């Protein structure tokens, strides 16, 4: 039996309960320690920003500026965005 890689396991945990922030924050911590690309670093910031602002109906001007400045980093390239890379 082949075990699931940690990235896929963490993403699967997020899918099990999409409304729970804990799996997202665990994934952000894991990605901060194990990510290798700028896109991974941007994902960490994006996840934390999303969890922090989830209770609000609007994001702040500072959060909007961060998204404007960093949205392209979230995309990365096709290879780095794949869970098995």
- Look at phi and psi of residue 64 and say left if phi exceeds 0, alpha if psi is from -120 to 50, else beta: alpha
Global pTM exceeds 0.85: no
Q: Can you tell me the distance from the alpha carbon of 75 to that of 81, in angstroms, rounded to the nearest whole number?
A: 7
Residue 3 reports pLDDT greater than 70? no
In contact, 26 and 13? CB cutoff 8 Å: yes
Q: Is the dihedral of CA 28, 70, 75, 77 positive or negative?
A: negative
At residue 75 the predicted structure's pLDDT band, cuts being 50, 70 and 90, is confident
What's the pLDDT tens digit per position in 6-56?
Answer: 999 999 999 999 889 999 999 999 999 999 999 999 999 999 988 887 666
């Amino acid at each position: 039996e082949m075990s699931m890689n940690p990235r896929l396991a963490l993403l699967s945990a997020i899918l099990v309960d999409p409304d729970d922030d804990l799996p997202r924050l665990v994934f952000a911590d894991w990605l901060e320690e194990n990510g290798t690309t700028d896109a991974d670093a941007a994902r960490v910031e994006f996840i934390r920003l999303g969890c922090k602002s989830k209770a609000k109906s609007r994001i702040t001007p500072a959060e909007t500026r961060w998204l404007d400045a960093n949205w392209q980093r979230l995309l990365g390239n096709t290879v780095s965005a794949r869970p098995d890379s």
